[in-house]
Amino acid sequence: TTTEGTEALRTRVATRLADARARSVALTDAVDDDDLVRQHSRLMSPLVWDLAHIGNQEELWLVRDVGGREPVRCDIDNLYDAFQHPRADRPALPLLDPTEARHYVREVRDKVLDVLDRSPLEGRRLEADGFAFGMIVQHEQQHDETMLATHQLRSGPPVLTAEPPPPGLAPAAAEVFVPAGSFTMGTSLDPWALDNERPAHEVHVDAFHLDTTPVTNAAYAAFVDGGGYDDPRWWSDTGWAYRQKANLTAPRFWLRDGAGWLRDRFGVIEPIPPDEPVVHVCFHEALAYATWAGRRLPTEPEWEKAARYDPATGRSRRFPWGDEDPGPEHANLGQRHLSPAPVGAYPAGVSPSGVHQLIGDVWEWLDTGFTGYPGFEAFPYREYSEVFFGGDYKMLRGGSFGTDPAASRSTFRNWDHPIRRQIFAGFRCARDADPGERA
Ligand code: AVJ
Ligand code: FE
């Protein structure tokens, strides 16, 4: 934004706010009011909670904080504070009904557009105010992905439609070699980067091999059909205990069909495309597959180095393909398609190391817990990231077909419990360099 003029920034923020709202409206207008207030899974909020929560965060940070205006509704803050009420308890709260929630988010948005119009967006407050708008755009888009996951859990006839993903041709090489060396991880410059992505810092990464693509349904089916879910040798102790307790037998939303499998994708029962990245596996399943395959999961620094480091310049890029924002040719993002795309579908999005589909398609589980980078400072509130540090979480990187470009970049860090399967998560495998390859 140092080079972006104030009016260009204003227009960009307004466009991104409108994009996010169009998606929230599409996801909530797709179902009737009964469906909006229903809890489709104890793991998720009713869609109407997400909608009003989006409006409430927007009110807190943009109307009250940036705008310094009077509250729109100060009586509902507690209902929409995610820390006050676990998801399972939210349907029992005296929530705004669908009509009230729609009215509320419109009223907040009208005020926010007025705040945006009048904000100088320059000088002393540019950084803080510009970030607050970016944070709220990303917040709405993150909840739009969460709402898409709720749609996947919803039963009943399908209500969402989208173009099928483009075809792909699997890359010739199954893995790439990334030599040892340090690279710049995280960012201090990206104006919309969240606190946990900051600051930029140097990290040494030992030489390793990384899969050029995420693990496909076909590859994963070989693990399933080869008895992988019945053999504790492949599973960690906690993974096996969870596999037993939850009676896992295949990825979530796979359905037995004779000797084979079908999948339920947003209510459509269909054959499983063999060449698409597997999705809806938890961390424990990803790790068991990797162990079965004689490999391991990548670490978070390995993933980010493969996605950003350009050996020709020694610089870290914003995205695998360069610094420019994602276009439809680069990555499967933004709910343009309602599934991952086949491997090799985005040759224009390949990283300098030769790795495909690091951004989009499926979030990738990594064998790293959630901590702050050296020099981390909580901003603008501890509850965004810091309170989760050191908890029972594994990192996820790259975004999925359900993630908007506004909430996607190679520094973006996501995290979840290692048992979570309703998110759009898959993985790829890595392995250590052979002794002769370690420099
Ligand atoms: C970063 C995706 C884990 O959805 O819980 C939304 C994002 N934070 N509202 C989540 C978030 C507050 C967060 N994740
Ligand atoms: Fe939220």
DSSP 425: E
What ipTM describes this predicted complex? Answer: 0.98
Rounded distance between C-alpha atoms, residue 319 and residue 351, angstroms: 8
pLDDT for 438 equals 79
Average pLDDT over residues 354-372: 98
Q: What is the Å distance from ligand 1's center to 133 Cα?
A: 16
Cβ neighbours around 169 below 10 Å, total = 11
pLDDT for 439 equals 67
Q: What is the Å distance from ligand 2's center to 287 Cα?
A: 29
Average pLDDT over residues 381-409: 97
What confidence tier does 3 reach under pLDDT thresholds 50, 70, 90? low
Q: What is the Å distance from ligand 2's center to 385 Cα?
A: 12
User: Which-ligand-closest: CA of 196?
Assistant: 1
DSSP class per residue in 159-226: ----PPPPP----S-SEEEE-SEEEEES-SS-TT--GGG-S-EEEEE--EEEESSPPBHHHHHHHHHT
The pTM for the full model equals 0.97
User: Which-ligand-closest: CA of 138?
Assistant: 1
Q: Which tens digits make up the pLDDT trace of 47-59?
A: 999 999 999 999 9
* Ligand 1 atom nearest 384 alpha carbon: 8
Three-class SS state of 332? coil
Give the residue with greater pLDDT, 228 vs 129.
228
* CA–centroid distance for 151 within its chain: 16
Helix (H) or strand (E) holding 418: none
Lowest mean pLDDT among 88-92, 180-184, 352-356: 88-92
Q: Ligand 1, atom 14: nearest CA belongs to which residue?
A: 414
Q: Check: CB of residue 154 under 8 Å from CB of residue 35.
A: yes
Q: What are residue 322's phi and psi, to 5 degrees?
A: 150, -155
Give residue ranges with CB within 6 A of ligand 1: 139, 142, 146, 414-415
Substitution candidate for ligand 1 out of 136, 142, 415 with most atoms within 8 A of CB:
142
Rounded distance between C-alpha atoms, residue 248 and residue 229, angstroms: 7
**Residue 123 pLDDT exceeds 90:** no
* Ligand 1 atom nearest 388 alpha carbon: 3
* Ligand 1 atom nearest 415 alpha carbon: 3
pLDDT for 2 equals 52
Mean residue pLDDT across the chain: 96
Q: Quote the percentage of the chain above a pLDDT of 70.
A: 99
